[in-house]
Amino acid sequence: MSPETTSVAVIGAGVVGLSTALYLLRSGQRVILFDPLPPPGGASFGNAGMISADTSVPIALPGMLPKVPGWLLDPLGPLAVRPSYFPKALPWLLKWVAAGRLPRVLAISDAMRALHRDAFACWKELLGPTHYADLIRPAGQVHVWEADKETEGAALEHRLRERQGIPSQTLGPDDLRQMFPGLSTAVKRGVLIPGNGYTVNPQRLIQTLQALFLEAGGVLLPESVMKIIPCDGRAGYDVMTNVGFHRTSRIVVAAGARAVRLLEPLGIRVPLETERGYHVMLPTSGLSLTTTISNKSRSFGVTPMEHGLRVAGTVEIAGLEAPPDERRAKALVASVRTMFPGVNVEGQSFWMGFRPSTPDSLPFLGEARSYPGLFLAVGHGHFGMTGGPPSARLLANIIAGKATGLDPQPYRPHRFG
């Protein structure tokens, strides 16, 4: 394929870029995909793998403002802001707090629902039945709390589920201990969301997408895009990479948390911040879980993967450059021990990744203002394994000029001005 004939260049081969590239390829486009790292090299590698099709609760919720001092003072808290990074993050944090007002939360929840509800269907479309059965478990998800009474957050989640008509089942202490032998008595309450599920291995899932993309005739170049340059006096773009120069008529920027570096030189300003998250792998945990568990009191989740138990979560606002704080991963080990006192934590390994996050938990999907043919597919935050494939389908339909079946307005890239 000569660069001159490329019809769409996709930048970034995480879950969002690869899903978009595959949908585009299947709709008849010639697609070239750029990523310097072997997929999955970003957040798509180490996430908790939860596919939360029936979750429509944004991250910013009412009552966050009084919590800001705590975020600054406790570096190991479930949500921490590094004081030195606070001034840089402040504009994004203010938009985030504003997105947590109840009327906004209801509208955001509607848009999350519209995007997420087809997550499993899109994964099946992308993977086909055999890979889907191998990699995806639509086995439900359990949320648990350590509080005796329903917390405000849990009550709001319940209200949002009812508003969206999402089935759920309340679980008492006996139900929980029957479902999860070895669960600590500290866990008091739970909710089963049967419409959610997980992947047994995010890395293998993304590698499978990559293999399907290559089999279908896609081109993947291990190059880092340095700059997007609009062509002088005619439609299209030049893509300057660390080792090459490519011409294309359309571009999809799916570079995750690093997308800002490509967009800012063009004057495209979107509030995209990274919420850094950590995981711990426990290869021989001794637990045999059949669903994921999301511990809402401590803001972490556990997922039974084919290569061990993954304990993942927490949010650290510290930008793209600060080194990881492994104490946060160790705090996850302490948390899982509180939930399952008998868990075997030998052989643990740590990882940190960059969630690409918007203030309102909705991605930026669609064409950039003033740049015809330049599309954004970034900002999936905590929900890329869920919202990535449906976003990819939506964007591929927009690019191909087909009916989208979903109102793209809530995800428009310029909604913050």
Ligand X SMILES: Cc1cc2nc3c(=O)[nH]c(=O)nc-3n(C[C@H](O)[C@H](O)[C@H](O)COP(=O)(O)OP(=O)(O)OC[C@H]3O[C@@H](n4cnc5c(N)ncnc54)[C@H](O)[C@@H]3O)c2cc1C
**CB neighbours of 257 closer than 8 A, spacing ≥ 6?**
42, 43, 272, 274, 320, 354, 355, 356, 357
Alpha-carbon span 100 to 116, nearest angstrom: 19
Q: Does 355 bind ligand X (CB under 6 A)?
A: yes
Q: Does 113 bind ligand X (CB under 6 A)?
A: no
Cα of 390 vs its chain's centroid, Å: 12
Shortest reach from residue 120's CB to ligand X, in Å: 12
Shortest reach from residue 68's CB to ligand X, in Å: 22
Interacting residue with ligand X among 24, 32, 254, 317 (CB under 6 A): 254
Nearer to ligand X, 92 or 278 (CB): 278
Q: Does 41 bind ligand X (CB under 6 A)?
A: yes
Site string for ligand X, 211-250 (x = CB under 6 A): -------------xx-------------------------
Determine the residue type at 12.
G
Of 103-111, 353-361, 390-398, 402-410, the segment contacting ligand X by CB under 6 A is 353-361
Alpha-carbon span 318 to 321, nearest angstrom: 8
Alpha-carbon span 147 to 107, nearest angstrom: 28
Of 24-32, 48-56, 66-74, 91-99, the segment contacting ligand X by CB under 6 A is 48-56
Which helix (H) or strand (E) segment holds residue 398: the answer is: helix 384-400
**CB neighbours of 89 closer than 8 A, spacing ≥ 6?**
81, 273, 317, 319
Of 117, 138, 141, 137, which Cα lies nearest the Cα of 190? 141
Of 86-94, 101-109, 157-165, 351-359, the segment contacting ligand X by CB under 6 A is 351-359
Interacting residue with ligand X among 32, 50, 302, 317 (CB under 6 A): 50
Site string for ligand X, 387-406 (x = CB under 6 A): -x------------------
Site string for ligand X, 325-344 (x = CB under 6 A): --------------------
Nearer to ligand X, 173 or 222 (CB): 222
Determine the residue type at 194.
P
Q: Does 308 bind ligand X (CB under 6 A)?
A: no
Determine the residue type at 131.
H
Of 311, 319, 312, 310, which Cα lies nearest the Cα of 275? 319
Residue 116 CB-half CA count within 13 A: 29
Nearer to ligand X, 244 or 342 (CB): 244
What Rg, from alpha-carbon coordinates, does the chain have? 21
* 8-27 positions binding ligand X, by CB under 6 A: 11-17
Q: Does 356 bind ligand X (CB under 6 A)?
A: yes
Interacting residue with ligand X among 24, 29, 32, 44 (CB under 6 A): 44
Judging by beta carbons within 10 Å of its beta carbon (0-12, 13-18, 19+), is residue 171 exposed, middle or buried? Answer: buried
Site string for ligand X, 264-283 (x = CB under 6 A): -------------xxx----
Alpha-carbon span 410 to 53, nearest angstrom: 18
Q: Does 111 bind ligand X (CB under 6 A)?
A: no
Name the token pair of 13: 């081969």
Of 92-100, 282-290, 378-386, 405-413, the segment contacting ligand X by CB under 6 A is 378-386
Shortest reach from residue 148's CB to ligand X, in Å: 27
Of 33-41, 159-167, 243-251, 317-325, the segment contacting ligand X by CB under 6 A is 33-41
What sign does the dihedral 228-232-236-240 (CA atoms) show?
negative
- Give contact residues for ligand X (rule: CB under 6 A): 11-17, 34-37, 40-44, 47-50, 224-225, 254-256, 258, 262, 277-279, 312, 353, 355-356, 378, 380-386, 388
